[in-house]
Amino acid sequence: MRRIALSALPLAGLLSLFAQGAAAETFRFTAIPDEDQARLVERFSKVADYLDERLGVEVEYVPVKSYSAAVTAFRNDQVQLAWFGGLSGVQARRLVPGSQALAQGSEDNAFVSYFIAHESTGLERTDELPDDIEGMSLTFGSRTSTSGRLMPEHFLRQRFDDANPEDFFSRVGYSGDHSRTIALVEAGTYDIGAVNYTVWEAAVEDGRVDTDKVDVIWATPPYPDYNWTLRGDADERFGEGFSDKVQAAFLEMDDPELLDTFPREAFIPAGNDLYAPVEEVAEALGLLR
């Protein structure tokens, strides 16, 4: 290792070394665990390799076990960047002032959730949720999932005179992630499930779901959802203009194989104000601290 006598360097040289040291710090990111862990590790390991090349710093993906753990890791500076859902992004940015939503998938400004149902219910796809779902069992995804709980509950309440799901359905569960929701409804453990439409469509395309046993009965109106959010102190720690470099890395991501793992066609610019509708619904449902 090359040794440098710091006392022999002028002030400018010292500052330069300190800047290099800051740039050498590992840049860590996480993602909400909205699918099974194996698929997440495969996806975000590739993202880490891509960012490592683009940003010129060591990049590490830090897996977490829950949506709340992703927000906590961001708040505690265990990670500096996260792939959040709409609600978890709002929560994280409230806890870390100055943090910014930098990018979203081209599909994320008009995201939808699917309500899926087991074939034994006899329910078929319609333009609105049928009255017959009252008294059936329902599973959401994670308790703080935008597409698996927040917005599905919002639209349920709109449709059924602000009925509390706990009172409206015979049983309400929280599966923890979208893949598990599909599996539980396919198995008949729950009659109905609320699920991220991209996870559903990817599962159908890959042959991981039997649509003779479970299928879509309704799609929600669109709403804003997933986003890459960066801590507000990133430039101070990793060098001037680092935030712009992170944003550019996502906006210029053009590897179809990498994009398909999300799945997204592309990433586009985002901003905190885009998620105001999600924040308003979360406030109304008492899901923000």
Q: CA 144: distance to chain centroid?
A: 10
Lowest mean pLDDT segment, chosen from 11-15, 75-79, 163-167, 215-219: 11-15
* CATH class of the domain whose range is 6-109+224-284: alpha beta
* Residue that has been written with the tokens 């194996």 in this structure: 38
6-109+224-284 matches 112-219 in fold: yes
Is 170's pLDDT higher than 90?
yes
pLDDT of residue 24: 63
Buried b (16+ CB within 10 A) or exposed e, 46-57: ebbebbeebbeb
Options 1.10.443.10, 3.40.50.11540, 3.40.190.10, 3.30.70.890; CATH for 112-219 is 3.40.190.10
**In sequence order, what DSSP letters do the residues of 136-164 get, joined into one string?**
SEEEESSTT-IIIIIHHHHHHHHHTTT--
- pLDDT bin (cut points 50, 70, 90) of residue 4 is very low
Question: Where do the structural domains in the chain lie, given as residue ranges?
Answer: 6-109+224-284, 112-219
Q: Closest Cα to residue 185, out of 270, 100, 119, 266?
A: 119
Tell me, yes or no, if the pTM score tops 0.95.
Answer: no
SS3 of residue 71 by DSSP: helix
Counting residues of the chain whose pLDDT is more than 90, the rounded percentage is 85
